[in-house]
Structure 1
Amino acid sequence: MKINGVNGAKLNPYQNQIQKQEQAKSTQQKQDQIEISNAAKQLQEGKGIAQARKEKVEHLKQQVQNNEYDVNPQKTAEKMIDFWTNKRV
């Protein structure tokens, strides 16, 4: 009686199928890409907004220092009431 050794290639009959599936996945995978427009890049940098805000703050500081800043109590009260009653404008 002759007994042949176990053939390593046929040890797991599903191995070939698994390898084929892995190869198919690796060839089909695509990389995600993103493109950001120039306008979006400028918005992300926020230089224009920051500059305008800085100028406004400086203007208000000068008005306060020169005693030229006038507070409108009616408008302030309205804004406070809107805030506390959740009427965001």
Structure 2
Amino acid sequence: MTTMVATDPTDVVTTTISITEAAQRALVRAELLSIRPWDALEREQIAQTLAWVDDSGGAPLCRIAKQAGDAAPASGVLLRAR
């Protein structure tokens, strides 16, 4: 089970949601399928991304540890796996 933490740097609220890897992949897949491609290139990129989500070679969909030298973005929403 993966714990996803969504942190909005403009707010003091942090939401933690625990979901399985399969559910996490299903959510990402559904989001990708909701995108209407503008052209053939975007259609190809969405197809490639879906293939990656479906078959990541056993690797987790999200990082499970912070990489060396990684810094949080200055703004926006940060999603990380714990």
Structure with the higher strand share, 1 or 2: 2
> Do they superpose with TM above 0.5?
no
Structure with the higher helix share, 1 or 2: 1
| TM-score, normalising length: structure 1 | 0.28
| TM-score, normalising length: structure 2 | 0.29
More contact order relative to length (CA 8 Å, sep ≥ 6): 2
Of structures 1 and 2, the larger Rg is shown by 1
